[in-house]
Amino acid sequence: MTRRRFVQRPDGSLVEVALDWHPDPRADIHIMPDIDPYTSMIDGSTITSRSRHREHLRDHGCIEVGNDSSLQRGRPNPHQYSPPGLKEHIIRAARQHKVI
């Protein structure tokens, strides 16, 4: 059986694309704000950032569950799926919004 790859158009129809196809970098990059501080249900400490949240879960051997199905698939290699020029595009967008 040969592998095939499809992309869904905005109208809902599917179009077959090459297995190595990557979408063009988009101009509407969204920079997500940090999380609001919250009190940990694990130990009562205050978590003030996404990085601290990830670190806190890791330190206590916990994982976050919800509608994230990526835990069932394993971790993809981010460099394998990033379209060319995406990193530079994100840096330009962040500088434009004075994030970095």
Q: In this structure, are residues 98 and 40 in contact, taking their beta carbons and an 8 Å threshold?
A: no
CA dihedral 35, 56, 73, 6 (to 10 degrees): 20
The residue whose two tokens read 């990033």 is: 82
Q: Does an H or E element contain 17, and which?
A: strand 14-17
Cα–Cα distance, 82 to 51 (Å, whole number): 22
pLDDT (tens digit, 9 = 90+) per residue, 37-81? 999 999 999 999 999 999 999 999 998 887 766 656 666 666 667
The overall pTM is greater than 0.75:
no
DSSP 3-state of 49: coil
pLDDT (tens digit, 9 = 90+) per residue, 1-34? 788 999 998 898 999 999 998 887 776 777 788 8
Cα–Cα distance, 19 to 17 (Å, whole number): 6
How many CB atoms lie under 10 A from the CB of residue 57? 15
